[in-house]
Chains A and B, each alone.
Chain A
Amino acid sequence: MSRSLWLTLGATLGVGGAVFLAGRRASAASPTQGSSPGSTADLPPIDLAPLPQVSDVSGDLQKNWGDTPLDLRPLFQLMAEVGKIPGAGRLFAVFAVRESKFVTTAHNGNATGEQDERDSSRAAYRNQKDQNPPLKYGEQAAEFGSGGLFGLLAPYFLWTGVPEVGSKAPLLNAPPQLVFQPRAAAFGALVYMQRLLTRYQIDDHADLKAGWANPSLLKGDRGSAKYHEVRARFLDDAKALGIDLNDTSTIPGKLDASAWPGVPAVFKALVGALPKEIA
């Protein structure tokens, strides 16, 4: 994604819009090799609750999940159940295979050839910092690039929830490495999906992926070559993963976020409480 596109994106999303890149292949880097040297070293290791287990969800984990890793299915399903967006879990799996290949610590921005990702996170931070509540680790987020299970761009990830709850957004004091915690990444991704579903015209599942790449593809750029490219890649990803997007017994024809319980409830159910140092 070009820098100019990110600038467009920032303007389109307004404050706190979490942004997700399409088409990249994440490098599976250790969080300790990240792009924010030194300045978060004084923090104790952040360790949220472990990945959800089968017993934590009520929905089916067997049918139409394709090759989604068995131990990540409960997380994807929990996202759908917590956000009250039936069927969303399998779409999150398709997003994750593209963004991270299911590596929870995937990091775009710290390898050769990933300069664009850092440029993007810098631009995102620079363009939004005056309009959004301050990030305690804003400069580190700007230098971070993107990462985690869903390839979230660090500044937007940390601003998750700002449009909904303003300065009470829960990640404002957290370092960008929090995105390597799958429950935190899931929170960012789920809030963003809800926003796409409620604020944009989503005609089908592939539209969600277009909006994931860039919300402008759902507005002025709808129908553009990029729009079709992102959609086609998403459909290919689903097929390769073995998820049938047309199986309406597991994925409704159109996702519905009308029962969304709100950012605080979603945060509590997915993440719980953050360590006091970053809460």
Chain B
Amino acid sequence: MTPDLSYYGDNIKALADLAGDFELRSPMDVMTWYRREWLAIADALGFAQQYAAVPTAIPTTDDRIAAMNAVGLAAFERSLQGGMPGASGEQARVQSAALRQLTASARTTGELWRVTADPTTLPAGACYIEGGRSLRAFYPDTAAGYFGDGWPGPPPRAESACGWTTPLVLHLGTFPWVYSTRLESTGPGMRWPTSGPVLAGMQTAVAMLEPRTNLQQDARQVAAIFRHFITHTAPLVARVPDHQPGRAEAGRLYRRGGLLYVHQGSLHVAGLDGPRGRIAATAYNYIIRRFAGFFAVRRATLRALPSLGAEVQRLARGSADPFLRRQVQEVARAG
């Protein structure tokens, strides 16, 4: 039985279809789907060469998906070697420590896609010292943007050494596009100062492609962010013509297969301008694919739930998401 994702929104099924359906119990399906997903990630983030160099054999470990993610992450990590600008190691240390704490706590609340925290409760208060000055380790992304209408408060409970006056908000599900107001052609997370926090951010994002972490994430949060994103991008995308093979003009931006495409040109220099700022075409495509990937994995996981073992089923039963709990009950009744 294919689970009905419409609980999360009318367009969620179509979104999941964009990433393609697959059968979690089929090793070939899993390999094909995850490899395609990683290829898309690698193309978008510039490590396709490193990813192409990794073996393509079907993983034989108990957890094929974790193995495929590990391979993708290894390729990503290799691409970071030597490519990161020399920047503040102190900032990276603070970022890494903050990400560890944020993700650990978010896993318990089921809100890993977007993490929100009082920065003064994070290691070093999410501040680092450079040139004798105390600086914020992350961008204060609290204005209205493509992922939400803003997070102006509550203000930090303690005084911030580096001037935090708002919560820290990071959209880790779409890493490296972690900020709602900065959807430029290169994800801001890729410009974090050293590979440590970059890798940590990426690990969190792709963990949601693993059934266990996917079920831990409250899909209602993802759906709400997606709805907001679509609400603010759909009017912009509607102005872009559909791509028609054989009739496309060089250099022109088109819609193709639910994503943006530039014919005979670079997607990295294209974008959409709207009231909430410019969104780069590369950012748009990557973000849509991340949402699509999440719900495709959710669908495949729900379908395969009876075979996924007691621990995963227990996770689903204990979820804050009522739809997910209902699915588990139906599986139990059917079983």
Taking Cβ atoms with an 8 Å cutoff, the residues of A that contact B are: 28, 30-32, 45, 47-48, 50-51, 54-55, 60-63, 67, 69-72, 101-105, 180-182
Report the Cα distance A45→B247, complex, angstroms: 7
A-B contact pairs, 10 of them (CB 8 A): A31-B249, A47-B246, A47-B264, A55-B48, A61-B46, A61-B49, A102-B266, A105-B251, A105-B252, A181-B250
Tell me if B233 is interfacial: C-beta within 8 Å of chain A.
no
* B82 and A105 contact, CB distance less than 8 A: no
Name the contact of B248 in the complex, choosing from A47, A48, A103 (C-beta under 8 A). Answer: A47
Interface string of B242-273 (1 = CB under 8 A from A): 00001111111000000000001111110000
Report the Cα distance A104→B268, complex, angstroms: 12
Q: Given the known A-B contacts A61-B49, A62-B49, A63-B83, are A31 and B268 also in contact in the complex, defined by CB atoms under 8 Å?
A: no
Report the Cα distance A127→B246, complex, angstroms: 37
Report the Cα distance A105→B264, complex, angstroms: 9
- What's the dominant secondary structure at chain B's contact region? loop
Q: Given the known A-B contacts A45-B247, A54-B43, A62-B47, are A70 and B268 also in contact in the complex, defined by CB atoms under 8 Å?
A: yes
* A62 and B251 contact, CB distance less than 8 A: no
Tell me the nearest residue of chain B to A61, going by C-beta.
B49
Contacts of B249 in A (CB 8 A): 30-32, 45
Contacts of A71 in B (CB 8 A): 266-268
Least Cβ distance of B248 to chain A in Å? 7
Taking Cβ atoms with an 8 Å cutoff, the residues of B that contact A are: 43-50, 52, 79, 82-83, 185-186, 246-252, 264-269, 282
Tell me the nearest residue of chain B to A49, going by C-beta.
B264
Name the contact of B252 in the complex, choosing from A30, A60, A102 (C-beta under 8 A). Answer: A30
Contacts of B269 in A (CB 8 A): 69, 101-103
Tell me the nearest residue of chain A to B45, going by C-beta.
A70
* B186 and A50 contact, CB distance less than 8 A: no
Q: Given the known A-B contacts A51-B264, A62-B83, A104-B265, are A31 and B251 also in contact in the complex, defined by CB atoms under 8 Å?
A: yes
* B47 and A103 contact, CB distance less than 8 A: no
Query: 13 extra interchain contacts, Cβ-Cβ under 8 A, other than A31-B249, A47-B248, A105-B264?
Result: A48-B264, A51-B264, A51-B266, A54-B49, A63-B83, A69-B268, A72-B266, A72-B268, A104-B265, A105-B251, A105-B252, A105-B265, A180-B251
Least Cβ distance of A71 to chain B in Å? 5
Report the Cα distance A70→B50, complex, angstroms: 14
Report the Cα distance A47→B245, complex, angstroms: 11
* B264 and A180 contact, CB distance less than 8 A: yes
Contacts of B50 in A (CB 8 A): 62
* A47 and B266 contact, CB distance less than 8 A: no
Report the Cα distance A63→B46, complex, angstroms: 11
Contacts of A50 in B (CB 8 A): 264
* B250 and A62 contact, CB distance less than 8 A: no
Q: Given the known A-B contacts A31-B249, A62-B50, A180-B251, are A104 and B266 also in contact in the complex, defined by CB atoms under 8 Å?
A: yes
Contacts of B79 in A (CB 8 A): 62
Q: Given the known A-B contacts A54-B49, A62-B79, A67-B186, are A182 and B268 also in contact in the complex, defined by CB atoms under 8 Å?
A: no
Name the residue in A32, A61, A62, A102 with the highest tally of chain B Cβ atoms < 10 Å from its Cβ. Answer: A62
